[in-house]
Amino acid sequence: MEIAELSDLLVWAAATTFAVAMIAFAIDLGRRTDERLEARTEARATVGAGASGAVAAPDGAGPAADVGPGGPARRRAAGIGLSTSWLGTAMLGVAILLRGLAAGRTPWANMYEFTLVGSFVAMVVFLVWNLRRDVRFLGAFVTGLVTLFVVVGLNSFHVAATGVQPALQNYWLVIHVGVAITATGIFTVAFVLSVLQLLRDARETGSPFLTRPGFRWLDRMPAPAALESMSFRLNAVGFVMWTFTIIGGAIWAEDAWGRYWGWDPKEVWSFIIWVVYAAYLHARTTRGWSGRRAAWFVVVGYACVLFNFTGVNLIFNGKHSYSGIS
């Protein structure tokens, strides 16, 4: 078996492992919701009977309030989800390394490799964050999105592991594209947080659809303000890295094509992404924009990121066309 084939097999194995992790995290989220409801019902029944000192679990408690019958809820499913997430991330990392060895270059020169490395970064952000703070409530959504990205990459963007065109044989491929991928991975996790913020906020304000029993798991999310704060911090880091992406791309363009800026479709859309996230950060910090308006800004920004990666590469012709599928 060739190294490239082994890399592809490991990518498939990683995608399967992420799917298992997604299911485990979803089971944990559902079980904690049921246990919390049971605990709240028992506590209220005790209070109603005249018992003293009984306190019900507060409404809207965050993930840290793992209250269940008889004490803290057991997090076996969450543990399985976290363990399989680490395993899948390790396999994906090895697959990316083998891909680079097979191609004899840095493994992020086309859409398939960008998808793999961007997914890897998103998982690393989620897992490392978990070492500092319990954010396992994000597990089902981050692993689900990463599973989708990896499977789409395998089925739609996969190309043979070969060398690159002369224009890409430059150390700026490592710096410029590497920073862009890292920023994209960070934006991915921030996007998940903003979507959860919108859903949680809509449930709290009485959305007819989201107040249904099937969405009780949203009660296990942190408050919308907490989700927004976490998203803001990640987007601030991603924005700084995206700024460097544009600056590095301009320096590389001058070296390769003799001009810093040429209104190439990729350049234009990269600048649009920068403007959207800059407007979001400015509006939130100086204009007091918060809540749903800020979250929708993040959703629009991430939609621009996805279009820059897919639409610009597949629809438009430009100097960056070699970064597409072929």
In angstroms, the Cα distances linking 152 to 117, 149, 157, 312 are 14, 5, 7, 17
User: Can you tell me the distance from the alpha carbon of 71 to that of 93, in angstroms, rounded to the nearest whole number?
Assistant: 38
The beta strand positions in the chain, using DSSP E, are 67-68, 71-72
Q: What is the pLDDT of residues 136-157, one digit of tens each?
A: 999 999 999 999 999 999 999 9
User: Can you tell me the distance from the alpha carbon of 133 to that of 63, in angstroms, rounded to the nearest whole number?
Assistant: 11
Q: Is the pLDDT of residue 322 over 60?
A: no
* Residues 29/140, Cβ–Cβ less than 8 Å: yes
Q: What is the pLDDT of residues 235-280, one digit of tens each?
A: 999 999 999 999 999 998 888 788 888 888 889 999 999 999 999 9
Q: Is the pLDDT of residue 318 over 70?
A: no
